[in-house]
Chains A and B, each alone.
Chain A
Amino acid sequence: MKEKMGTTGLIFNEPLLWEKGSPGRKGLSLPRRDVDETSLDESLAGDGPDFPDLSELDVVRHFTKLSQWNFGVDSGMYPLGSCTMKYNPKTNERQASIPGFAGAHPLLPESLSQGALALMHDLQGYLGEITGLPAVTLQPAAGSQGELTGMLIFSAYHKNKGAPRTKVLIPDTAHGTNPASAALCGFKAVPVKSGPDGVLLPETVAELMDEDTAGIMITNPNTLGLFEHNIRKVAAIVHEKGGLVYGDGANMNAVMGIVNIGDIGVDVLHLNLHKTFSTPHGGGGPGAGPVCVTPELEPFLPVPRVVKDGDTYRLDENCPLSVGKVHAFFGNFGILLRAYSYILSLGKHLKEVSQYAVLNANYIKEKLKGHYHLPYDRPCMHECVFTDKRQQEHHVATLDIAKRLMDHGFHPPTIYFPLVVSGAIMIEPTESESKETLDQFIDAMKQIAQEAVDCPDCLHESPQFPKVRRLDETAAARNPCLRG
């Protein structure tokens, strides 16, 4: 296709549901009553919730129109750095809708849930094999909750040794949720500055690591998209002082099947199934953030644990050192199922996922580095980070570049993150995109760089094509309107 992908079309306005419909209108007919009418206890009576009265068609059109204002991976490339917005194969949905799984209830007895338990048991095994950390819990519902579980394990481990610790080291290139997770567990987050090449220096860690420090939380590859090549040395320094190493596995898409996380010295790692293992990100959920640990830390994993006795599967609650439950029942089972489908669909080709993800990011980096400032010019992993330094002389900022990308039919990349890079533009194409799509994206970015020189105001006034134009993000943050 030669034309720019973004174009204009007929877009519908749509009011709130409360402004639609009319009193008494119904979306469905209840079946004829087959029990006698009885009076209701007055204490149970009261006003119902304020729901609008709508027909089925009112509702269908409402949400169809809203979906047309939206943008997702199914509509176009979504290079949101650090979020791994890869395509979610439709076979995952097909497997998840198998009636035996879709209709399973968490309170069914173990004897009637053998299939679901077998799937969870096998998935734990696969994730253990992929990461090299063989003991796995599937319970956490998100990456952040996986981090929290990991920090609870840090805390339980040191308490069990009889010497609780108070601090956790967190590099400036780690994910932003890391310090929050540590703080929630009562640890003081101690920032660690990365070296001039954007990676951790062992000597910096050695200076800060002491016997009151529970361990370190490392994102590898880090948020600059760079592999922490000193990880083994860093892990040895932390272990020597009795600390543990937490790996933020949110960037696992770069190293799956290539790096054995256990071998490089990581003790605890969370995975984001909704990133690396192609389950939907949804509207902020549900996600899944399984945690993989070394055999030594297995006793601390949340309960219940799925175990196999001979040919049958059961749930084990008898783990006295466990950090307890972190989610109702067994986590987001429907999401686990989709990840299982993805792993079995790809099999030995899982490794190629990471190889293509890294290749795609490096392709974009090489093609765009003549047009945008590249703060760390070395091979990247699954994402690359540019800045607006060259565009600033034309008074064009990262935000303008991101907004203009929408007009070209692309979701904007992650911006102003990582914080260690001023005006960061963080691009993660994932393995899903073909070379043709990558070329279209590169071409759009080049056009925007040219436009920054020729017509800065065109960028300040972008986006031009979407349903809503430039939003006032400052007003939205200062005076948020949280009611419909």
Chain B
Amino acid sequence: MKAISELKLPEDVRYTDDHEWAKKNGNVVRIGISDYAQDQLGDIVFVELPEVGSTFDKGEEFGTVESVKAVSELYMPIGGEVTAINEALADEPERVNSDPYDSGWMMEIKASDPAELEALKSKADYLEMLKG
């Protein structure tokens, strides 16, 4: 597994305590899991995502990610309505491992309260949490 110094933690996304990230992308917010999360999980074999149009509150479970080690729940970084999911993950779940912030994104939502995004962790805060 990667040392903390080897982790890719972009500045332009916000992080949660549960290791999801969220990033404003025009009118929508894109969601995925962090490099730390994919590294801890190991090879990802299946990503279960909700249907477009579903609505979730901040902190609610929106799906699961299955690796060779375990099945883990995914939690909403902020509340909102799902506007798109990354269909490519159905056939290529490994994108979450190889490219967690870009082609390994999970879904896009229309935020119910955009201010929630600002309350998430910055790179520095998230890194601090990982260092414990």
Contacts and interface: CB of A to CB of B under 8 A. Distances in A.
Nearest to B94: A478
A160 interface: no
Given A397-B1, A477-B45, A478-B94, A422 B70 contact: no
Contacts of A415: 69
B69 A416 contact: yes
Q: Is the interface of B mostly helix, strand, loop or mixed?
A: loop
A392 interface: yes
Nearest to A416: B69
Interface string A285-323: 000000000000000000000000000000000000000
Given A392-B1, A397-B1, A422-B40, A416 B94 contact: no
Interface residues of B, number: 12
A477 B65 CA distance: 13
B43 A474 contact: yes
Size bracket, chain A contacts: 10 to 19
Interface string A399-425: 000000000000000011101001000
A394 to B, nearest CB: 12
Residue of B1, B46, B69, B94 contacting most chain A CB atoms (<10 Å): B69
B89 to A, nearest CB: 12
Contacts, number: 23
Interface string A30-65: 000000000000000000000000000000000000
A419 B46 contact: no
A235 B93 CA distance: 42
Contacts of A474: 43, 45, 68
Given A474-B43, A474-B45, A477-B46, A419 B70 contact: yes
Contacts of B40: 422
Interface of B: 1, 40, 43, 45-46, 66, 68-70, 72, 93-94
Interface of A: 392, 397, 415-417, 419, 422, 473-474, 477-478
5 contacts: A397-B1, A422-B40, A474-B43, A474-B68, A477-B66
